[in-house]
Homo-oligomer: A and B are copies of this chain.
Amino acid sequence: MKAKQPEQPNGVKEIARRAKVSIATVDRVIHNRPGVSAKTRTKIEKIIQELNYQPNIIASRLASRKVLNLAILIPAKSIETEYWEILLAGVLQAEEEIRQMGVRIHRYFYDFNDRSSFPKAAKQLLKNEVDGVLLAPLFIEEATDFCGQLQEKNVPFVFINSDLPGLDSLSYVGPELFRSGYLAAHLMSYCIGLKDKILVVNMTKQKEGIHPLLRKEEGFREYFGEKPSRIVKTDALETSDDTVERKVAAALAADPAIKAIFVTSSRVHNIARYLETAGKNGILLMGYDFLPENVAWLQKGMIDFLICQKPQEQAYRGIMTLYQHLVLGIAVEKEHFMPIDIITRENHMYYKN
């Protein structure tokens, strides 16, 4: 079934043989450690070039029992949204894949309704030795501060979910939010009449708004740049169900031309519930994220489109980016934008977050 074949005949041993030195010396050169004369070093480096030496990472891993400690810092899961739990699944997936390679992942959580919880969790994180960090920087100031400390310690960090371009992150893995909003607008424009109006709903408790949501709205508005009057906006600062219902009901009553609703977050299921109980079936509803609750409304036909950006894969790729950088020494992409996926009643069963 399996044929045996010799392979990889040029490892450190072959290099040592050619350079007429011992394996240990070659090892010192490869790992850039002291204790080798410049002359010997140069000679060995030349031979490594010639042989195009690729270290056997299998053997390497077996020999060095080093452990790579990674950490994640994201919002804790909450009753408000399962989003962060899905993301966590991606972390688990990556962990299982690279555990054999000696990677350990430590989890730290903060409360996305409470700014002050971020530095607390960050402080906990910094207590232990860490080689790399994956974080969702929801609070700009706090995250900036934290990343500064990481940089001092020379610990690389990767952003997911939303980017902070100013900081010197190893990479960003996540959506291009502006584009995502623009796409939503384009898709919506296909589906409604030229004189129909659109209601934009922005649900959050933070009175100053949340950056990712605002970015999406900007992109959305950009598409309708020439006719901004087609967009009606209601901010539902409270997120309790009846507040939402009242605001939406008021908006719909005030302008009967509204034929579509765009929700900038995963809370679109709240609107779907309202539309059903209010018996308003003719309204196109679009929102974000492939959460079970949203999918249920998609199936019922109350939600027409969901735009999704693979939170699980974001986390998976984020971890893998750190791994590739730290273990394999591979150069990594500075930005890895997630696809902007359009989910409907027909394709949702094949979608993977």
Smallest Cβ-Cβ distance to A67: which chain B residue: B5
A308-353 contacts to B (CB < 8 Å): 337-342, 344-347, 349-352
Contacts of A340 in B (CB 8 A): 346-347, 350
Is A6 close to B, CB under 8 A? yes
Of the residues B56, B62, B131, B342, contact of A342 by C-beta under 8 Å: B342
Contacts of A341 in B (CB 8 A): 339, 341-342, 347
Is A257 close to B, CB under 8 A? no
Q: Does the CB pair B350–A176 fall under 8 Å?
A: yes
| Interface locus among A183-191, A196-204, A208-216, A270-278 | A183-191
Contacts of A66 in B (CB 8 A): 2-4
Question: Which of A3, A59, A69, A352 has the most B CB atoms < 10 Å from its CB?
Answer: A3
Contacts of A7 in B (CB 8 A): 65, 67, 102
Contacts of A62 in B (CB 8 A): 56, 58-59, 62
Q: Does the CB pair B339–A67 fall under 8 Å?
A: no
Least CB distance, A59 to chain B, in whole angstroms? 5
Least CB distance, A174 to chain B, in whole angstroms? 11
Is A255 close to B, CB under 8 A? no
Distance of A337 Cα from B351 Cα, bound (Å)? 9
Of the residues B65, B182, B183, contact of A6 by C-beta under 8 Å: B65
Question: Which of A1, A5, A175, A179 has the most B CB atoms < 10 Å from its CB?
Answer: A1
Known: A2-B67, A3-B69, A65-B4. A350 touches B190 (CB 8 A): no
Q: Does the CB pair B2–A57 fall under 8 Å?
A: no
Smallest Cβ-Cβ distance to A307: which chain B residue: B347
Provide 20 A-B residue pairs closer than 8 Å at the C-beta atoms, listed in order of the A residue: A1-B131, A2-B67, A2-B69, A4-B65, A4-B67, A56-B62, A58-B101, A62-B62, A175-B350, A179-B346, A179-B349, A182-B346, A183-B344, A183-B346, A186-B345, A187-B344, A190-B190, A190-B304, A341-B342, A342-B347
A residues lining the B interface (CB < 8 Å) = 1-7, 56-59, 61-62, 65-69, 100-102, 129, 131, 175-176, 179-180, 182-183, 186-187, 190-191, 304, 337-342, 344-347, 349-352
